[in-house]
Amino acid sequence: MKSCAKREADRKTFLEQVRESKENGYLLSSRKIGSGAFSKVYLGYATQEKLKQNYKLASDLRSKRHAMVAIKIISTDKAPLEYSRKFLPREIYSLNATYKHINIQLYEMYRNSRRTYLVLELASRGDLLEHINATSDRRECPGLEEEEARRLFRQIVSAVAHCHNVGIVHRDLKCENILLDERGFIKLTDFGFANRYSLRNSLMSTFCGSVAYTAPEILMSKKYNGELADLWSLGVILYAMVTGKLPFKERQPHKMIHMIKQGLSFRQPLSPECQSLIQGLLQLKPGARLGLQQVATHRWMLPATSAIFQQALNATGRPPERSPALEKPSAQGGCLPCPRVCLQRAAPQLGGTGWGALG
């Protein structure tokens, strides 16, 4: 239970944030939509005056037909200096450098000595983790149907490929950092650990990310290639999407490595293609992982219907007749009755926050 004094201090802080946002043209609502290690994310609204001044914001919100934004408030006075000096600028750089259709847009930023405010595009359908858990509950079966997972995973792969193409490795890919917009399209966010690299094969040494999604070479404190580490995280995300669980779940890195070495197991029916793609990504040796190009053209990534459709079209010159199998192409061989265990938010970074790591 929060003490009275703490509640009062929180209320005062919030009122300050409301005032500071208003001065900058935004109405901050009390609806908290997320929080991170040093940040809180609130629903906000752009004022009419702001819309008149900021063309980028106005044109984007006009196309969305609303005035809502996500305001991420980072308490820079409470965060370690390294966070404000290194990770926050990286996040801002990466948000600006990546393409708006696949990543969350940064509309504007304002700050003072205590706080930095990032005005972000609102992903109104929450994050992938919430989506997986809500869908699992609705289906009474953990995970998404493979067809839906494929649709989302294709977008995730294309967003990561875009980042890699512009020389940015994300390094903290996890279900919580994949948001869904109002049309159900994915948007990558949380580029706090993202890094620029100029040499494609150069190695990094910073520990980044959340243990459950972190590549084994990073857990083993080896120098690593950021692109190959992102591929591992993609394997974990795909596993989480189709099974509703994490493939390896331990808080301690050394225990995680032990589990990883024991090998992956699938505890529910999945198509062989899906298993093969996950196995191809979750390879202990970084160089043995499928590359993004191979992932994008992997047979699981091809929609079952269009592949069959195309085959039939090639053979007969006319489309195939519709069959129940084509109507519902999920390769997931039905659901077993299962306990309702939710996928949980990833364990915190190594050493509490991970900020103290190397360059």
Ligand X SMILES: Nc1ncnc2c1ncn2[C@@H]1O[C@H](COP(=O)(O)OP(=O)(O)OP(=O)(O)O)[C@@H](O)[C@H]1O
| Contact residue for ligand X among 79, 178, 179, 236 (CB under 6 A) | 179
Q: Compute how many residues bind ligand X; rule: CB under 6 A.
A: 22
| Contact residue for ligand X among 142, 143, 192, 280 (CB under 6 A) | 192
Give the range of 34-42, 163-171, 293-301, 320-328 binding ligand X by CB under 6 A: 34-42
Long-range contacts (CB closer than 8 Å, 24 or more residues apart) made by 49-58? 49/25, 50/24, 50/25, 50/26, 53/25, 54/25, 54/107, 54/108, 56/107, 57/107, 57/108, 57/119
| Contact residue for ligand X among 34, 44, 216, 354 (CB under 6 A) | 34
Residue owning tokens 């080896």? 222
Residues whose CB is less than 8 angstroms from the CB of residue 111 and which lie 6 or more positions away in sequence, other chains included = 76, 117
172 is annotated as an active-site residue:
yes
Binders of ligand X among 277-336, rule CB under 6 A? none
Q: Using the rule CB under 6 A, is 33 a contact of ligand X?
A: yes
What does the alpha-carbon distance between residue 105 and residue 221 come to, in Å, rounded to a whole number?
Answer: 33
| Contact residue for ligand X among 17, 21, 76, 189 (CB under 6 A) | 189
CB of 306 to ligand X, least distance (A): 32
Residue owning tokens 């063309």? 55
| Contact residue for ligand X among 70, 159, 236, 270 (CB under 6 A) | 70
Task: Tell me how crowded residue 1 is: count the other CB atoms within 10 A of its CB.
Answer: 5
Residue in 357, 342, 210, 235 with CA at minimum distance from that of residue 295: 235
Closest CB to ligand X among residues 178, 295? 178
Q: Quick check: 160 and 292 in contact, CB under 8 A?
A: yes
Q: Using the rule CB under 6 A, is 177 a contact of ligand X?
A: yes
| Contact residue for ligand X among 61, 71, 122, 178 (CB under 6 A) | 122
**Contact code string over 88-117 relative to ligand X, x by CB under 6 A:** ----------------x-------------
Closest CB to ligand X among residues 106, 295? 106
**Phi-psi domain of 273 (left: phi exceeds 0; alpha: psi -120 through 50; beta: other):** alpha
CB of 250 to ligand X, least distance (A): 19
Q: Mind giving me the DSSP string for 124-170?
A: TT-BHHHHHHHHHHHHTSSS--HHHHHHHHHHHHHHHHHHHHTTEE-
| Contact residue for ligand X among 190, 217, 227, 230 (CB under 6 A) | 190
The strand pair at 68-75 and 115-121 is best described as antiparallel
Q: Quick check: 126 and 180 in contact, CB under 8 A?
A: yes
Residue of 127, 172, 190, 230 with catalytic role: 172
Binding site for ligand X (CB under 6 A): 33-39, 41, 70, 72, 104, 120-123, 127, 176-177, 179, 189-190, 192
- Tell me the catalytic residues: 172
